[in-house]
Copies of this chain bind each other. A is one copy, B any other.
C-alpha cells in the first residue's frame, strides 16, 4: 500500500522547487529539471492550485507561486490535494447500510490510527522537506 504515490512525490518536489525559486515558475520549467513529463506536472499543479496551495497566473510569463509560506504547507495538505482524503478503512458494507457501523471494533481502531497518521502528516511541512 502506498501513502506517497508517484504524484505526491512529484508534487512535493515541484513545490520545493517553487519555494526555493521565490519567483513564479511555469509547469514546463518545473517538469524538465525534475524529469517529469510536462502534462503530468501540469495536472498536478492544477490540482494544487484548485486546493489553494499554489496561486497560478495565466498567460505568457505566468506560472505558479506558493499561496502561503512553506512552513504552513503540510505534507497532509499536499496528499489531500492530489489524492483526496485518506480512507484507511473501507467498510465492506457501504457505510450507510452497515448495521455494525457504530460498534464495529475494527473500524474504531483503524479510525484512530488513521487520525494519528493524519496528525503526523500534517506536522511535516514543506519547509522541512527543502
Q: A105 → chain B, closest Cβ, in Å?
A: 5
Task: List the B residue with the shortest CB-CB distance to A121.
Answer: B113
Interface class of chain A by DSSP: helix
Q: A28: CB under 8 A from chain B?
A: no
Q: Within the oligomer, what is the number of copies of this chain?
A: 2
Query: A116-B116, A120-B116, A121-B113 are contacts. A1–B105 as well, Cβ < 8 Å?
Result: no
A113: chain B residues within 8 A (beta carbon)? 3, 117, 120-121
CB pair B92 A109 closer than 8 Å: no
Q: A43: CB under 8 A from chain B?
A: no
Q: A2: CB under 8 A from chain B?
A: yes
A residues with a Cβ closer than 8 A to B are: 1-6, 9-10, 12, 75, 83, 86-92, 105-106, 109-110, 112-114, 116-117, 120-121, 124, 128-130
Known: A4-B110, A6-B90. 11 other contacts (CB 8 A): A1-B88, A2-B90, A3-B88, A4-B89, A4-B90, A4-B106, A5-B90, A9-B92, A105-B130, A112-B120, A113-B121
